[in-house]
Chains A and B, each alone.
Chain A
């Protein structure tokens, strides 16, 4: 069974940083693109970033470029999202998803940016 388990969320002040992690199991991680999607409170879904199988290609939504970095550790079947210079508008549930087209989703981890 495919499983994605996110962690690392929490409360952080504006301008602060957080690193999200996603532990993957039940599929060949090294063969799969991976993606982060977020959902602000009471709002819809929004693609954030994704990364190819060997980590050599990344795409970002414009609003996080230069602040967020997606990466992966294929030896540990793990996906990461380093979030710097956090803003109030980054407050959301962050979901880790399998593939370029969001085939399977984790349960999400909550990030709250507030003073």
Chain B
């Protein structure tokens, strides 16, 4: 089974400052079809999750451009260029190359 490891698990951030979350997989996420099925989700308190990023670096419709994804192989990163109050919540990476596995989640808290 593919294990997804996120760090940090808790991330206090100041409004307007950048934030970065790392996600590492236990094996390469490059599929035999050449695609990398790595996704990022946001879950605000009391809400259902929402997908932010698909295929490593593509923003879903309606996602602000302060969110960006990058990485390859086994190492991936979600960055928020300038954190806003509405960004508080838990962020999950997920791989869909070898069945489907989520990371443990990173809680982003506003200082």
Q: Which residues of A contact B (CB under 8 A)?
A: 35, 37, 44-47, 50, 59, 61, 95, 100-108
Contact = CB atoms under 8 A, between A and B. Distances in A.
Interface string B77-106: 000000000000010101010011111110
- Which range holds the interface residue count of chain B? 20 to 34
A47 B99 contact: yes
B62 to A, nearest CB: 11
B99 A45 contact: no
Interface of B: 37, 39, 41, 43, 48-51, 54, 60, 90, 92, 94, 96, 99-105
Give the top 3 A-B pairs by smallest Cβ distance, nearest first. A47-B100, A105-B48, A44-B105
Given A100-B96, A101-B54, A102-B94, A45 B105 contact: yes
B21 to A, nearest CB: 14
Contacts, number: 48
Contact of A44 (B37, B92, B99): B92
14 contacts: A37-B49, A44-B92, A44-B102, A44-B103, A44-B104, A45-B105, A47-B100, A47-B101, A61-B99, A95-B48, A103-B51, A103-B60, A105-B49, A108-B48
A107 B39 contact: no
A102 B48 CA distance: 12
A105 B105 CA distance: 17
Contact of B37 (A50, A59, A101): A101
B85 to A, nearest CB: 22
B37 A102 contact: no
Contacts of B39: 101-102
B18 to A, nearest CB: 24
B92 A102 contact: no
B54 to A, nearest CB: 6
A101 B96 contact: yes
A98 to B, nearest CB: 10
A103 B94 CA distance: 12
